[in-house]
Structure 1
């Protein structure tokens, strides 16, 4: 049996709890925790400031586990923020890796991390293996492009095992050992469906719907064109945290556009299922992503119109692709006229892309079983 130390990158376990375990890091952590073939699991949060403890979370997040073979470490330092300067970041991650090696005999332990700098500096000889789980291209973290590119180069040179959500990330990192395990969903999350928010249920006419963080990765210019092109009875609805409001000011001024803050995840899934068409209008530079939303849209049974990027291709006949720079409205209106996915198609899609299958592929790529 193998031991696994899984060091998260950029998002803590509590961050995952807050969004309903929606993203792959917490999905994998939960499955590692519950996997009887893994003898010991240590889940490690990214390094956070001691000052965070002065503002305790209310309500407190559930514990990772009460099983003594499943530990959860929350390393701390005094300074706030994710370090983006090379020497500081390397020092912090080397110190963390040394602490993790001191937990016990690691010749039977695989270190898996989603932090590229930790993967770049980890002592290969101190572990059975070191794996980098790339669930995003972290060069997009503000101020981190040069640091993360350096880490990618080191990961390739030092022959770290890379498991990534898209072929684009594999290509960017350039590691000899690499596997693609795309994002996934949990079929049980869709049943029974939650009630729609009152404001959504009151919307008149058809809805083109986007769910997710509202940031620069979205092709706002394409959405502005879509708002102008849609017939008067349509509404363009965007739901999610407004992370870069300056990018969306023009869109918010359109009379047929509604931008709403994040809703609880069950309600978001219900809105996806009720939408006339769901959207993934991403910019071409996001090709390294494996957007969770496209799997959730299709798992909810909605037709999808997405930017034509590699991670979107071949998922479903109900996912229409639009070349970057082309107008979305023709495909949105065509998708609205097509028959929706049948119940059998939806259930088949959920089963094929469920995390039960994704995790087995991930585990095989990381620890070989």
Structure 2
């Protein structure tokens, strides 16, 4: 089966998202997989940052292959971005119609002129519904993109058109499921995020850059982006000197750079930047608490945080605001009022005290809850949907 993922993130992103896990499971099942995107535009060429140089190199070389998955980066003359002359609906709806060289020719050259499954994950995928002949199409809806500052507000309209245009929608949260149904989705399935099996591994050697000493360490693993609320965490760094606070992940919200630099001067705070995903379990296994310090917003109301499952699989108690998804799961959680600095500190203290009181029994309880939330189980649900949509079982479950 030929599977094409139309994406807005690099295939080799250091902190993989749901689609990264799913395409690897499709590949593991023996299917021919292509990761398409994110697109480049003339405005990106020549920029000094590493990310754009990396994408340009892949475009210039006609694509690459990572772990048996092909990756193609198109160059489009029309780019959709939240800047003057670039934020029009026309640009958002037609990014892949103006590629150099033409996208259809590039796909023909590598054997993807037609596909069995067209997996849409970013707004640019809308035009692909017409460009690429396919047997089944789906849209993995993981965010309300109109809540991100760098994306034009009109992206909500494009998302709704994508929802209505595909054969079925996979919504990662209850909020997104409701929105997809309201937006005319033909078939909408609630499929939350999951956790990689590697987070269930026994504790290994402590990473050399992990905080040393006897203080317990509260860890945040993931992108530091629009959702991240630094104020409660900064308050906890000052008010809880007996606790280390460790951030691991890329800094996407540039305005926080100065504040994080200031916190770096504190003995009990450390930001390590992005790390290879395969090293993430080692950091969590030596932590004491997992943190999800998110704002209370329309964006976070629709979030199903992958890190929640990763923390629990590593045996960590979780401190987070009462996000709708977390409350609906009824899993282990030390909730605090979003934005409330004192309540955040209370929740961290409570989680640490729980470790002392519950010990290994509490840890195993959290691991057991996470064990039923793995990506492989979610993938099984997807294959069952594909069978219902007419892809023969021999194709869906084919092993290499």
Tell me the TM-score normalised to structure 1 length. Answer: 0.80
- Separation in 2 of the partners of 1:55 and 1:126? 28
Query: For the structure 1 residues 54 and 44, does the alpha-carbon distance in structure 2 shift closer, same or farther, using more than 3 Å as the test?
Result: closer
Query: For the structure 1 residues 352 and 61, does the alpha-carbon distance in structure 2 shift closer, same or farther, using more than 3 Å as the test?
Result: farther
Contact preservation (8 Å) 1:206, 1:275 = yes
Alignment partner, residue 329 of structure 1: 345
Alignment partner, residue 153 of structure 1: 160
Shift of 1:300: 0.5
Report SS of the residue matched to 1:7. Answer: strand
Query: For the structure 1 residues 365 and 222, does the alpha-carbon distance in structure 2 shift closer, same or farther, using more than 3 Å as the test?
Result: farther
Say if 2:104 is the partner of 1:99: yes
- Separation in 2 of the partners of 1:142 and 1:184? 27
Say if 2:39 is the partner of 1:47: yes
Selected match of 2:217 from 192, 207, 212: 207
Alignment partner, residue 348 of structure 1: 368
Alignment partner, residue 274 of structure 2: 262
Contact preservation (8 Å) 1:131, 1:163 = yes
Say if 2:116 is the partner of 1:109: yes
Report SS of the residue matched to 1:143. Answer: coil
Matches within 5 A, 1:212-361: 212-230=222-240, 232-247=241-256, 249-250=258-259, 252-254=261-263, 255=266, 256-285=268-297, 286-315=300-329, 317-326=331-340, 327-338=343-354, 339-340=358-359, 342=361, 344-361=364-381
Selected match of 1:89 from 85, 92, 96: 92
Query: For the structure 1 residues 72 and 114, does the alpha-carbon distance in structure 2 shift closer, same or farther, using more than 3 Å as the test?
Result: same
Shift of 1:283: 1.2
Say if 2:30 is the partner of 1:32: no
Shift of 1:241: 1.8
Alignment partner, residue 172 of structure 2: 165
Of 177-186 and 338-347, more deviation after overlay is shown by 338-347
Q: Write the deviation string for residues 305-333 of structure 1: whole angstroms up to 9, x where unpaired.
A: 11110222254653222232432111211
Shift of 1:337: 1.1
- Separation in 1 of the partners of 2:289 and 2:315? 10
- Separation in 2 of the partners of 1:335 and 1:121? 47
- Separation in 2 of the partners of 1:361 and 1:132? 15
Shift of 1:227: 2.8
Report SS of the residue matched to 1:76. Answer: coil
Alignment partner, residue 141 of structure 2: 134
Query: For the structure 1 residues 146 and 193, does the alpha-carbon distance in structure 2 shift closer, same or farther, using more than 3 Å as the test?
Result: same
Contact preservation (8 Å) 2:337, 2:344 = no
Matches within 5 A, 1:2-17: 3-15=1-13
Report SS of the residue matched to 1:119. Answer: helix
Shift of 1:354: 1.6
Query: For the structure 1 residues 78 and 182, does the alpha-carbon distance in structure 2 shift closer, same or farther, using more than 3 Å as the test?
Result: closer
Of 204-213 and 192-201, more deviation after overlay is shown by 192-201
- Separation in 2 of the partners of 1:123 and 1:54? 26
Alignment partner, residue 76 of structure 1: 74
Q: Write the deviation string for residues 273-310 of structure 1: whole angstroms up to 9, x where unpaired.
A: 22221110111222222211111111100111111102
Contact preservation (8 Å) 1:133, 1:163 = yes
Query: For the structure 1 residues 110 and 241, does the alpha-carbon distance in structure 2 shift closer, same or farther, using more than 3 Å as the test?
Result: closer
- Separation in 2 of the partners of 1:309 and 1:150? 25
Equivalent residues, number: 352
Say if 2:128 is the partner of 1:118: no
Contact preservation (8 Å) 1:163, 1:366 = no
Selected match of 1:23 from 7, 17, 25: 17
Alignment partner, residue 68 of structure 1: none
RMSD, matched Cα: 3.5
- Which blocks of at least 5 consecutive residues in structure 2 are unaligned? 46-52, 394-400
- Separation in 2 of the partners of 1:61 and 1:206? 43
